[in-house]
Amino acid sequence: MKSTAHTATPRPTAGVGLDPRNHQDWQIARAAERNIKPFLQLGAELGLLPDELIPMGRHLGKVDYARAMARLRDRPQGRYVDVTAITPTPLGEGKTTTTMGLVQGLGRLGHRVAGAIRQPSAGPTFNIKGSAAGGGLSQCIPLTPFSIRLTGDIDSVTNAHNLAMVALTTRMQHEANYDDARLARSKLRRLDIDPQRVQLRWVMDFCAQALRNITIGRGGKMDGFEMESGFQIAVSSEVMAILAVARDLQDLRRRIAKIVVAYDRAGREVTTADLEVDGAMTAWLTEAINPNLLQTIEGQPVFVHAGPFANIAIGQSSILADNLGLRLSDYVVTESGFGADIGFEKFWNLKCRFSGLRPSAVVIVATIRALKMHGGGPAVKPGAPLDEAYRKEDLALVEQGCCNLIAHIETVKKSGVRPVVCINSFHTDTPAEIGLVRKLATQSGAYCALSEHWLKGGEGALELAEAVVAASNEKNDFHFLYELELPLRQRIELIAREVYGADGVEYTPEALAKAKNFEADPASRELGTCMVKTHLSLSHDPELKGRPKGWKLPIRDVLVYRGAGFLVPVTGAIKLMPGTSSDPAFRRVDVDPETGEVTGLF
């Protein structure tokens, strides 16, 4: 389904002039940005009209979603490709790099193609993970705005969320200090909020473990309501999840009104609508709802919109961006956070359910080095030299580690889609190791392709792109793992056994009571299930690599994100506010005093 309208010849990465083996990602990005397409040109080549583009600088901006979709709504959709991965390791799998490489590779084949990825959180960007723009010759640019601030969407989410907290804590203060007559004069009704059942916390977009648990309202009665509170990272906010799943501004407004902020002393939900803050929260998001438009190093369009984590949230870029891209392109390549047990499971059973979209192909990214770690390879310590096991051929380690890859292949196949395994190439990989992974992947029922996009850009991704085209040409039988009629605990059990490989599920008394209450509540039966689980293992224990056996999934809590449309079972000891490491990335970020350019991002 190729089209010649608005098709631009991909810009070769050779023009960057830098070898990824000898230069850092930020240096390559800066070199590529010398020839970056102006935003208005990028939008025109994609097929957008001038009045559908909202420039925010010369090289990036937003797309007016409502205006563009009013024109494009009846266009046939392109093919929809999701990129996921094996279980992450400290060695990295390169999922975003592969997403950018695949976009470039499909462009080299002559297809109109767009990417759709999440905006990175400042927490990981300035901590351990880095920017998440891709790497080598397969990156999303311009790098600095992509990594820092972008167009202010995360700030808008943060402010909308914290406005709800202001409304909540202010109401609690006034109800504690005012009698009913004075409340009535203030045109307030008593909500009788239970301070022990406040569901919301404050948010900020850094990894700040010192703020996980705090006491607020200390002082006198004019200083607020004193209670225990805390912070979570902004991208775990339900407001961010709503931005990812909303279908238009009206849907977003409706969902914001349903956010449960607390319970009253009788056990009834207190929502943002009860606090009369839902309209003001939405006002913060009227610009954020429009997808951001950036580009690959080779000049293909990339929508960057929404940024929820996958281990503690839904882990997907926005439905809005996907809908837009699918009406402008032959292929849209989107990305789900972390491994297939986390990001793809939520893409499959939540995002696709909410959007009505169905994938044409699913890519599972793996590296030989990461498979060795899953096979029992030595631990990797930040700053320490890489162990020799990861730099020399070891077929036994690779074969043992492929149990993790095969688990993810089986998960994708359960959705009715035959996956494409992408071997993300490293120079230390040997032909025998690559051949072994190819054999095991194809024996497990997947396509398999070697890709050298990190080193060669789109040219290096041609084999992968051809495999994705072949997979997209196959008729698949996409279907959900569960229907919404299935009770919550049965859904959790199904996900635990069929996706994670658990032997069953165990509940704390509190989590069990909550699960039963939600099952008995007719209003909760139509909500999806968004698991909170470590991304570092198929199990709840981040130390267990490979394909753990003989364990049960512990559920310690169940949260409700009624606005986003799902219940949230929380497993293990995972935190909604990550911590900053002893050697964070911000130590290497600086500004060139002569040019003002940011250096050190990766």
d(CA 511, CA 179): 36
Same domain as 320, residue 199: no
Q: What is the reported pTM?
A: 0.95
CATH number at residue 244: 3.30.1510.10
Classify the phi-psi angles of 356: left when phi > 0, otherwise alpha if psi is within -120 to 50, otherwise beta. Answer: left
* Residue from 62, 79, 118, 346 carrying the catalytic annotation: 118
| 454 belongs to the catalytic site | yes
Tell me which of 249, 282, 315 is where a domain ends.
282
CATH number at residue 538: 3.10.410.10
Same domain as 460, residue 317: yes
Residue 591 lies in a domain: no
Q: What angle do CA 452, 455, 459 make, to 5 degrees?
A: 60
Query: What's the pLDDT at 602?
Result: 75
* Residue from 146, 225, 284, 454 carrying the catalytic annotation: 454
CATH number at residue 321: 3.40.50.300
Same domain as 229, residue 112: no
| Beta-bridge mates of residue 296 | 140
Same domain as 211, residue 268: yes
| 225 belongs to the catalytic site | no
| 118 belongs to the catalytic site | yes
* Residue from 309, 338, 518, 602 carrying the catalytic annotation: 338
Paired sense of beta strands 260-264 and 269-271, if any:
antiparallel
**How far lies 228's CA from each of 132, 215, 253, 587, in Å?**
34, 4, 30, 32
Same domain as 72, residue 31: yes
Residue 137 lies in a domain: yes
* Residue from 13, 87, 89, 97 carrying the catalytic annotation: 97
Tell me which of 263, 282, 301 is where a domain ends.
282
Same domain as 463, residue 356: yes
Query: What's the pLDDT at 131?
Result: 79
Same domain as 458, residue 342: yes
The parts of the chain modelled with pLDDT lower than 50 are 1-6
* Residue from 234, 310, 461, 564 carrying the catalytic annotation: 310
Same domain as 102, residue 69: yes
* Coil, strand or helix at 316: strand
Question: pLDDT tens, 309-361?
Answer: 888 889 999 999 999 999 999 999 999 999 999 999 999 999 999 999 999 99
Tell me which of 224, 251, 282 is where a domain ends.
282
Residue 431 lies in a domain: yes
| 129 belongs to the catalytic site | yes
* Residue from 44, 66, 67, 129 carrying the catalytic annotation: 129
Query: What's the pLDDT at 5?
Result: 43
Residue 586 lies in a domain: no
* Residue from 344, 426, 518, 551 carrying the catalytic annotation: 426
Residue 231 lies in a domain: yes
Residue 105 lies in a domain: yes
| Beta-bridge mates of residue 115 | 302, 333
> Residue 92: which of 146, 126, 132, 119 has the closest Cα?
132
| 456 belongs to the catalytic site | no
Same domain as 338, residue 248: no
Residue 5 lies in a domain: no
| 62 belongs to the catalytic site | no
Question: pLDDT tens, 272-303?
Answer: 999 999 999 999 999 999 999 999 999 999 99
Same domain as 166, residue 146: no
Residue-number span of the structural domain to which 497 is assigned: 488-571
Same domain as 297, residue 275: no
| 310 belongs to the catalytic site | yes
Residue 133 lies in a domain: yes
Domain count, the chain: 3
Query: What's the pLDDT at 9?
Result: 62
**How far lies 122's CA from each of 149, 205, 452, 476, 584, in Å?**
8, 6, 29, 38, 12
* Residue from 11, 62, 79, 95 carrying the catalytic annotation: 95
Q: What angle do CA 279, 285, 286 make, to 5 degrees?
A: 90
Query: What's the pLDDT at 310?
Result: 84
Query: What's the pLDDT at 573?
Result: 83
Same domain as 176, residue 93: no
| 369 belongs to the catalytic site | no
